[in-house]
A = this chain, B = another copy of it.
Amino acid sequence: MIGRQRVIIENVKPEINHGQFPIKRVVGDHVIVSADIFSDSHDVISAELVYKHLSATAWTHVEPDHLVNDHWEGSFITQKKGIYFYTIQAWVDRFKTWHRDMLKKIDAEVDYTVDLLEGAEIIQRAMDEHTDMERQDKNYLDDAKTVLRSDAALEERINPITTGELFDVMTSYPVRSHLTRYKNELTIMVERKKAGYSTWYELFPRSTASEPGMHGTLRTTAEKLPYVAEMGFDVLYLPPIHPIGNAHRKGKNNTVTCEPGDPGSPWAIGSQEGGHKAIHPELGNFDDFDFLLKEAEKHNIEVALDIAFQCSPDHPYVKEHPGWFRERPDGSIQYAENPPKKYQDIYPFDFETKDAEGMWEELKSIFIFWIEKGVSIFRVDNPHTKSMRFWGWVITEIKRDYPDTIFLSEAFTRPKVMYQLAKQGFTQSYTYFTWRNTKYELTKYFEELTQTEAVEFFRPNAWPNTPDILPEFLQVSGRSGYIIRNVLAATLCASYGIYGPAFELMDNVPKTPGSEEYLNSEKYEIKDWNINDSKSLKPVISRINQIRNTNKALHSNYSLTFHTIHNENMICYSKHTPDFSNIVLVVVNLDPYHTHHGWVDLNLDALEMDTEHSFQVHDMLGGAYFLWHGAHNYVELNPGIMPAHIFILRRKVRTERDFDYYM
């Protein structure tokens, strides 16, 4: 294509899959955009990072900095929820080129009389373009033109140039000749704060009855809210609360035969009593649900529902929409299987159904149903067994009308599938944290999550345990092990959660040796938890979550920095706010059995800390204060007492110069 544009813009970042997917931010976050920008020849280029909220009519312009090697970088802060657009534009700047060359020529004392006349022409061009110019700028430029063209002494004629005044005025009125605009308008999904920072507690409502053997209800669940709030959690996540199927219902410990009274798995959704838009009768009714939500709100807790798109054979959909399931040659419906294993109690939806439209719309209506009942957070069960494109569609549809909705992807699957789900729109995602225990594993994984493109779209939510997973480490590491995993999850990840009360009561018995399933799993039976047990980790968890709430450094993951510590059993990392007003440094002894000590080598540059002065570190977990100096400092942790320090770093330490009489 023949044309006059001379600037090339490429390598724009962040850009996910050529701009197909948005990057994610919460309100108040920084967005840093970089690009390679250059043209032929040696002219000066002007570039602009432009952005706008979907609702805005005009673009906001930010001048990026030319860093090095034709690489430019600019940034802005997101102000409100919803979709933002951003891109880069640039042009060969006639004025700036002229100004730079004039200064060189003046310096070299070569003849530049014609150049002065050119300058006047360039000014006139800007005035023609910007007819709405400020009056005083217009007057200044009129005068500058006259001076440049005058017969006065050269010294006087070049005055607007050498003083820099002309430059200051003219750069407010760019003439974007032959503008190149990057071909993609990239998008940002800006969400409420909780999308980026949240603290989850998972609990089975049916295990909340006040008397052993009773079936808990939504109302007895509400009675646990003060307990959950005291520990500092702000999301109460409930496994499915829908009617549980009777056909092929599983018994205790996932047995195929079910004894009378066995409650079944909440994930076997649907019975004669209804499906995904009904409540299991033993848990209560919609009034009870509303009561629970209102009570939770009083404790600043949001209730998150589990959405598991699968049906028990009793689910009303099976009769109403047989085409949404795969029919077998014998007329039966294909149940879930992972050959040779069979899950006859679960019918998966067939995402190759001819009625994709009908099925997708109905599944979407399930979210809408609960949103209209007051729910804004969904934990989505096994999203990786449903069409990726379905998630992209349904999340986009819902967030357009209900931007506060949060979707947590419960996918423990292959790396690229997990990332794809996040790209398609999941707000947060389960992670491999559950199985990352050593310093090497944790460092490598969290560097991947926070220092690669993944940080733009994948928001990790770390879980030390879930009803499905009692990790080997927790089975054998005792109280210190639980604290280690709690501190790591809570400080490595701005969002984390625990499955309780199994966690704080340190239930650590696997179904069989070598298994990571709980013995007598709560998935298949009602449990009676003694939450008042004196050995409960409640006080420690409360302290950890309080530290999170009062330290903004822990509310995002962008700043995560690992520091060297000379002991393979110890890990050290920090997080800080963008302005460094809050710096948290964590040191964990990863060995739950033995005391370890080591020398930390802090990366003080990353913390913008001064190597000259001493600084105070205050262990918010243990309460102790230490005075440190420079990068090299000693740490010792006895896991029997406390396996971690969560330090707050205070850069200013008083010296004799602060003493009143010093001067």
Contacts and interface: CB of A to CB of B under 8 A. Distances in A.
Given A18-B18, A38-B414, A70-B414, A6 B387 contact: yes
Interface in A93-119: 101, 104-105, 107-108, 110, 114, 117-118
A330 B352 CA distance: 73
A56 interface: no
Contacts of A178: 352
A325 B539 CA distance: 79
B414 A114 contact: no
A7 B173 CA distance: 50
B393 A2 contact: yes
B10 A17 contact: yes
Interface string A320-346: 000000001110100001111010000
A388 B39 contact: yes
Given A114-B328, A330-B114, A339-B101, A8 B39 contact: no
Interface range on chain A: under 10, 10 to 19, 20 to 34, or 35 or more? Answer: 35 or more
Interface stretch (A415-423, A543-551, A556-564): A415-423
A515 interface: no
Q: Which of A329, A338, A414 has the most CB of B within 10 A?
A: A329
B107 A340 contact: yes
B340 A108 contact: yes
A388 B8 contact: yes
Contacts of A340: 104-105, 107-108, 110
Contact of A2 (B18, B108, B357, B388): B357
Contacts of A342: 110
Contacts of A389: 1, 3, 5-6
A2 B22 CA distance: 19
Nearest to A104: B339
Nearest to A416: B70
Contact of A417 (B4, B70, B110): B70
Contacts of A135: none
Given A69-B415, A114-B332, A352 B6 contact: yes
Interface in A488-541: none
A360 interface: yes
A351 to B, nearest CB: 6
Interface string A7-50: 01010000001100000000000000000101111100000000
A177 B351 CA distance: 12
Contacts of A339: 101, 104-105, 108, 110
A120 B328 CA distance: 12
Q: How many copies, total? A: 2
Interface in A35-73: 36, 38-42, 69-70
Contacts of A121: 329
Contacts of A114: 328-330, 332
B420 A8 contact: yes
A349 to B, nearest CB: 11
Contacts of A329: 114, 117-118, 120-121
B38 A420 contact: yes
A362 to B, nearest CB: 12
A386 interface: yes
A59 to B, nearest CB: 23
Given A108-B340, A340-B107, A387-B6, A417 B356 contact: no
A150 B351 CA distance: 31
B328 A118 contact: yes
Nearest to A385: B41
Nearest to A420: B8
A386 B356 contact: no
5 contacts: A4-B351, A38-B414, A39-B388, A110-B339, A110-B340
Interface of A: 1-6, 8, 10, 17-18, 36, 38-42, 69-70, 92, 101, 104-105, 107-108, 110, 114, 117-118, 120-121, 177-178, 328-330, 332, 337-340, 342, 351-353, 356-357, 360, 384-389, 393, 414-417, 420
Given A2-B393, A3-B389, 17 more contacts: A2-B357, A4-B356, A6-B351, A10-B17, A38-B420, A40-B351, A40-B384, A40-B386, A40-B387, A70-B417, A92-B352, A101-B337, A108-B339, A108-B340, A114-B328, A114-B330, A117-B328
The 3 closest A-B pairs by CB, nearest first: A108-B340, A117-B329, A104-B339
